[in-house]
C-alpha cells in the first residue's frame, strides 16, 4: 500500500491501473478511522480491483466556531487500518494541495441541503460537494463508498452525481455501531465517560420510534414527539434537530406512508452527534 500527498501521484497510479484494465473504488474520509470507515473499505476491496482511501480533513466544510482545529488526526493508525483492510493507496493531501491560493470555484446544490444538518451548518454541503467533486476528478473511480451514518450527505452526493453526470456508482453502506448502540464516529473521542453514557440517548430514542412504527403508528408527529421526549429525559443532551423526512427529497412528511428518514443531531455537552434510521413499510 502506498501513501501519497499530491494529485499528480494519484493520477499517475490510477492511470497505470487503468492501463491494466483494473477497476477502482474510492472511500472518501476525514481520517481517524474506525470500524465504520473500515466497513466501507472492506466493501470497496471486495467490489473493485483497487481501492483508494482519501484521508483529508476538509477545511471548507467546517463553519466558523466548528471543530476543524480539534478534529482528531492519527495518520499512522489510519495507515494501519487501511493496510489491514487491503486498500492499495491512501491519498493524504495538505489543504494547500486541494485548495491552491485563489481557489474560488464551488459546487453548490439548491435542493436537499437546506434542512436537517444544512440548517445549523449552512456552508457544510457546499464544502462536501466541492471536495467530493475534486476527489472524483482526481481519482476517477468506478464506485465510491459512503456511509448511511451521514444520510443527508449520501442523498446529496447521489443527487450531485446524477446532476453533474459523474458516471460513478455511489454505494451506500449501513451504519456501524458500538455494541451498546452508539453509532461509531471519529467525534465520539470528544466524549468523557459521563457523556459517552449520555450519548446512548440517540440510538435509544430512535429505537423507541422504530418500535412505535412497528406497532402500527403512522403519524410522523407522534413518532417525532416520542423521540424528542426520550432525548429530553437526558440532562446532558440538547437537541439540534429531530426530523422525519421523505428519503427521496428530504422534505418533512406527515404520514409514514413511504420510505422515510428519521434523522437527528443532538449536542452531548459540546459535542454534536448525528444518528438516523430509515423506515419503510414492508409488503405484508
Q: Which residues bind ligand AMP (CB under 6 A)?
A: 29-30, 36-37, 39-40, 146-147, 149-150, 173, 175-176, 183-186
Give the residue with the Cβ less far from ligand AMP, 158 or 224: 158
Buried b (16+ CB within 10 A) or exposed e, 92-122: bbeeeebbeeeeeeebebeebbebbbbeebe
Let me know the angle formed at the C-alpha of 263 by 214 and 241, rounded to the nearest 5 degrees: 125
- Annotation marks residue 280 as catalytic: no
Q: Which is nearer to ligand AMP, 56 or 220 (CB)?
A: 56
CB of 274 to ligand AMP, least distance (A): 10
Q: Residue 3 or residue 22: which is nearer to ligand AMP going by CB?
A: 3
Could you tell me the three cell numbers for 88? 492499495
Which segments within the chain are labelled E, that is strand?
A: 2-4, 24-29, 50-55, 89-91, 143-147, 169-173, 237-246, 260-268, 271-279
Q: How far is the CB of 283 from ligand AMP (least distance, A)?
A: 27
Closest separation in Å from C-beta 207 to ligand AMP: 16
For residue 183, the cross-strand partners are: 177
What minimum distance in Å lies between the beta carbon of 189 and ligand AMP? 12
Can you read off the three cell numbers belonging to residue 78?
489510519
Name the catalytic one among 37, 92, 124, 159. Answer: 37
Exposed/middle/buried for residue 34 (C-beta within 10 Å: 0-12, 13-18, 19+): middle
212, three cell numbers: 412505535
Our CA dihedral for 82, 88, 91, 92, rounded to 10 degrees, sits at 40
Closest to ligand AMP by CB, 12 vs 35, is 35
- CB of residue 280 to ligand AMP, shortest distance in Å: 19
Q: Which is nearer to ligand AMP, 156 or 244 (CB)?
A: 156
The catalytic residues are 37
Amino acid at each position: 500500500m502506498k501513501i501519497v500527498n499530491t494529485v499528480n501521484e494519484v493520477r499517475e497510479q490510477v492511470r497505470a491501473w487503468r492501463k491494466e484494465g483494473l477497476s477502482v473504488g474510492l472511500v472518501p474520509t476525514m481520517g481517524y478511522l474506525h470500524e465504520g470507515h473500515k466497513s466501507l473499505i472492506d466493501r470497496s476491496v471486495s467490489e473493485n480491483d483497487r481501492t483508494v482511501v482519501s484521508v483529508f480533513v476538509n477545511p471548507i466544510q467546517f463553519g466558523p466556531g466548528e471543530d476543524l482545529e480539534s478534529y482528531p488526526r492519527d495518520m499512522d493508525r489510519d495507515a494501519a487500518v487501511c493496510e489491514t483492510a487491503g486498500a492499495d493507496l491512501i491519498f493524504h493531501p495538505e489543504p494547500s494541495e486541494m485548495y491552491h491560493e485563489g481557489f474560488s470555484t464551488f459546487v453548490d446544490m439548491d435542493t436537499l441541503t437546506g434542512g436537517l444538518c444544512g440548517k445549523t451548518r449552512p456552508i457544510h454541503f457546499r464544502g462536501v460537494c466541492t471536495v467530493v467533486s475534486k476527489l472524483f476528478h482526481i481519482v476517477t473511480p468506478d464506485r465510491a463508498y459512503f456511509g448511511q451514518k451521514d444520510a443527508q450527505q449520501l442523498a446529496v452526493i447521489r443527487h450531485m452525481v446524477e446532476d453533474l453526470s459523474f458516471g460513478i456508482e455511489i454505494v451506500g453502506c449501513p451504519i456501524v455501531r458500538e455494541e451498546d448502540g452508539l453509532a461509531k464516529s471519529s467525534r465520539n473521542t470528544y466524549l468523557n465517560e459521563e457523556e459517552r453514557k449520555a450519548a446512548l440517548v440517540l440510538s435509544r430514542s430512535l429505537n423507541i420510534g422504530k418500535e412505535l412504527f412497528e406497532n402500527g403508528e403512522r403519524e410522523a408527529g407522534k413518532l417525532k414527539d416520542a423521540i424528542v421526549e426520550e432525548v429530553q429525559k437526558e440532562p446532558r443532551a440538547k437537541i439540534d434537530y429531530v426530523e422525519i423526512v421523505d428519503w427521496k427529497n428530504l422534505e418533512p412528511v406527515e404520514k409514514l406512508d413511504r420510505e422515510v428518514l428519521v434523522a437527528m443531531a443532538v449536542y452531548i455537552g459540546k459535542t454534536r452527534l448525528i444518528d438516523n434510521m430509515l423506515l419503510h413499510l414492508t409488503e405484508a
